[in-house]
Amino acid sequence: MEPATVNHARLSKAGEENSQQTQNLRESVKKLIKWIKENVGTGPLPMNCHLYPSGEFVRIDPDGEHGDKVVFQITANVTPTVSDLHKFAELITDSFLVELSEMLECNAAKMTCTSDRINAFLNE
């Protein structure tokens, strides 16, 4: 069995590291949500997520027992809970950024097609 001072030192060090990484994740999440708002806009997002004009990022479980259930939400100007940060991290791990990229690529292709049609019509 390890002496209590070793356990205390280990716990203290792990707590400090966890606090630092939690703060780093909070800052990264805030930056990503800001980027999405500026580059994608508000509205529905992949994987049952939604970004509201207020900056609130919400993930919904559409198969909730009593209808839509909020899985987590990150609200602008409110410090996210550690639980919500873990759920957001899980969303990222589950390929949210890949699906967001695919959505943007599809949107860009639609805009290109529409622009081409409009230009063809105007140049007739």
Of all residues in the chain, the percent with pLDDT exceeding 70 is 96
Split into its structural domains, the chain has a count of 1
Can you give the pTM of this predicted structure? 0.83
Domain extent, residue 88, equals 4-122
Query: What are the CA-CA distances from residue 102 to residues 49, 91, 99, 107, 108 (Å)?
Result: 15, 16, 5, 9, 10
The pLDDT confidence band at residue 64, using thresholds 50, 70 and 90, is confident
What is the C-alpha to C-alpha distance for residues 116 and 121, in angstroms, rounded to an integer? 9
The pLDDT confidence band at residue 1, using thresholds 50, 70 and 90, is low
